[in-house]
């Protein structure tokens, strides 16, 4: 079945530790995204990657890092520099927005999320 997987579902981190959240998709999508969700809030963009080996910072990239070595994978590392990392993290993917007609905009498909808690 095609889809997006995220692991682990729950993650606990001690202060000062780096942790990496996994995101894999087998939808053959070019674009991948990481969002952060806090209680009662919408989703805020952390990082975005349109193609392999390329990614851009989103609105709240400080304290996070990513890599995109393979089309299928877009791991997110939460570093010790992120002062308030406890949140729900969602990974998404979509067909490259620049394919197809000009100004086309394809829906994003989301993974099941990882809930990160700092102890």
Partner 1 sequence: AQKVTQAQTEISVVEKEDVTLDCVYETRDTTYYLFWYKQPPSGELVFLIRRNSFDEQNEISGRYSWNFQKSTSSFNFTITASQVVDSAVYFCALSGGSQGNLIFGKGTKLSVKP
CB of 26 to partner 1, least distance (A): 16
* Interaction between residue 108 and partner 1 (CB under 8 A): yes
* Interaction between residue 70 and partner 1 (CB under 8 A): no
Which residues neighbour 74 within 8 Å (Cβ) at sequence distance 6 or greater? 23, 25, 32, 34, 49, 55, 66, 67, 68, 91, 93
* Interaction between residue 56 and partner 1 (CB under 8 A): yes
**Segment interacting with partner 1 (CB under 8 A) among 12-20, 42-50, 68-76, 77-85:** 42-50
Q: How far is CA 34 from CA 6, 48, 102, in A?
A: 11, 6, 24
Considering beta carbons, is residue 31 or 76 the nearer one to partner 1? 31
Can you tell me whether residue 20 is helix, strand or coil? strand
Q: Which two tokens stand for residue 57?
A: 């910072």
| Binding-site ranges for partner 1 (CB under 8 A) | 31, 33, 35, 40-45, 48, 50, 56-58, 88, 90, 92, 97, 103, 105-113, 115
């Amino acid at each position: 079945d095609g889809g997006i997987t995220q692991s682990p579902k729950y993650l606990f981190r001690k202060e000062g530790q780096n942790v990496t959240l996994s995101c894999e998709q087998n939808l053959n999508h070019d674009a991948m995204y990481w969002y952060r969700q806090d209680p009662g809030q919408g989703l805020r963009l952390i990082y975005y990657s349109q193609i392999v080996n390329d990614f851009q910072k989103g609105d709240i990239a400080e304290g996070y890092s990513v890599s995109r070595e393979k089309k299928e994978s877009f791991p997110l590392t939460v570093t010790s520099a992120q002062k308030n990392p406890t949140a729900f993290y969602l990974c998404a993917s979509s067909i490259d927005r620049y394919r197809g007609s000009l100004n086309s905009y394809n829906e994003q498909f989301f993974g099941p999320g990882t809930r990160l808690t700092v102890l």
